[in-house]
Amino acid sequence: MTGSQANAVETLRWCGGYLEMIDQRVLPAQFRYLRYDSAEAVAQGIRDMVVRGAPAIGCAAAYGIALEALRRRDTSSSEFSGHLERAFSVLGASRPTAVNLFWALARMRTRWHSLASQLVPTQAQALLDEAHEIFAEDIRVNRAMGAHGAALLADGARVLTHCNAGALATAGHGTALGVIRSAVEAGKRVSVIADETRPFLQGARLTAWEMVQERIPVTLITDNMAGFLMTRGEIDAVIVGTDRVAANGDVANKIGTYMVAVLAHRHGIPFYVACPTSTIDMSIADGAAIPIEERAHAEVTGFRDYQWAAEGVQVRNPAFDVTPAELVSALITERGVVHQPNRERLADLMKLAAERP
Ligand code: MRU
């Protein structure tokens, strides 16, 4: 990828005019890339969870727009516009909760509109350059977040994480796992307790795999074991990522995060959320207004081809929950750590981000 730093796991890569993405549905049993050539195909990849994790979804969507622009570069200006509008709408409908998707699409649209006077092939190339920049920026942001967050972890810290907020969920380095990586790079002996993360098992399949690859000590637990380990004093901190933070600091993240936050509060364990400012949605007043994706019942009644639940049972499958700001010890952003996040502190942070992009 253009402009990226060395990156152990290349979740997405630009290769010979195509987007390639690691197929996260089959990890860790298989490691394979799938190739994408259109916005429609990328949207399907996002829907199917080939790529997942808020920042990675945003990067994929940006490349989806670029792919569509490149394959339509020989059309007339009005045809090109029609194709791009369709691309924006199909990608925008792929998943509802992660705001990075809409953030990346808005940024691609702003860039596109700034190119209105240019020839179509020039517009297409500039959109690809913008997608590369979004990708490279994500790694820079994650590294900055990692540096701020690493300072919060003591040498020897045992850190619980939920879902996968690692390199696989971003362009590289990761958000929550990025903090852990940065702490390890700084010489701290940090170990990870990974919640398996029912029902899609991002913790068991992806976080455990990433940590094993890098020889960062990792212990896998089922989600319902976290409270027990806390009662035994075996967890020093919790760090998770997020899909969207509301203006008052409420945090949407993978289903089960709220449960962990309540437990951490009960046990006096710091609960940190690693969060690029692109994940903060100032247009949403509080967590109740964050759209929560409901996914297929088959994810709860079984796994892949195997069904263990009774045929005909009723099922709920909300993919995210909302942790109220009062349970969040700090948001770790690329611009620094916001302790006890609230409406005023987030407004100050975002004002700073707007003034000094
Ligand atoms: O459904 P997923 O796998 O896309 O959910 C991902 C998460 O909940 C992550 O914790 C979140 O996107 C932060 S990723 C840096």
- pLDDT, tens digit, 9 for 90 and up, residues 49-89: 999 999 999 999 999 999 999 999 999 999 999 999 999 99
pLDDT digits (tens, 9 = 90+) for 89-123: 999 999 999 999 999 999 999 999 999 999 999 99
pLDDT the model gives residue 279: 97
Task: Read off the pLDDT of each residue in 315-320 and give the average, rounded to a whole number.
Answer: 98
Tell me phi and psi for residue 220, to 5 degrees: -90, 135
The set of catalytic residues is 243
Most ligand 1 atoms within 8 A of CB, residue of 202, 272, 273, 334 to mutate: 202
Q: Could you give the CA distance from residue 47 to residue 59 in angstroms, rounded to a whole number?
A: 14
Under 8 Å between Cβ of 207 and 224: no
User: Side chain identity at 22, as an amino acid letter?
Assistant: I
Q: How far is it, in rounded angstroms, from Cα 220 to Cα 204?
A: 7
pLDDT at position 263 is 98
For the segment 310-329, the average pLDDT, to the nearest whole number, is 98
Task: Quote the longest CA-to-CA distance of the chain.
Answer: 67
Angle, to 10 degrees, between the axis of helix 120-150 and the axis of helix 54-71? 170
Residue 27: name the closest of 7, 11, 4, 44 by CA: 11
Q: Is the pLDDT of residue 37 over 90?
A: yes
Q: Is the CB of 152 under 6 A from ligand 1?
A: no
Q: Which string of DSSP letters, residue by residue, matches 151-183?
A: TTSPTT-EEEE-S--SGGGSSSS-SHHHHHHHH
Is any atom of ligand 1 closer than 6 Å to the C-beta of 205?
no
Mark 261-291 as b/e (b = at least 16 C-beta within 10 Å). Answer: bebbbeeebbbbbbbbbbbbbbebeebeebe
Q: d(Cα 231, Cα 81) in Å, to the nearest integer? A: 58
Average pLDDT over residues 187-201: 98
pLDDT tens readout for residues 325-338: 999 999 999 999 99
Q: What is the pLDDT of residue 7?
A: 60
User: Does the structure show a pLDDT above 50 at 5?
Assistant: no
Residue 131 has pLDDT above 70, yes or no: yes
Per-residue pLDDT at 1 exceeds 50: no
Which residue from 242, 271, 273, 293 has its CB within 8 A of the most atoms of ligand 1, so it is best to mutate?
242
- Where is 195: in which H helix or E strand? strand 191-195
For residue 235, report the phi and psi dihedrals to the nearest 5 degrees: -130, 125
pLDDT of residue 355: 87
Residue 236 has pLDDT above 80, yes or no: yes
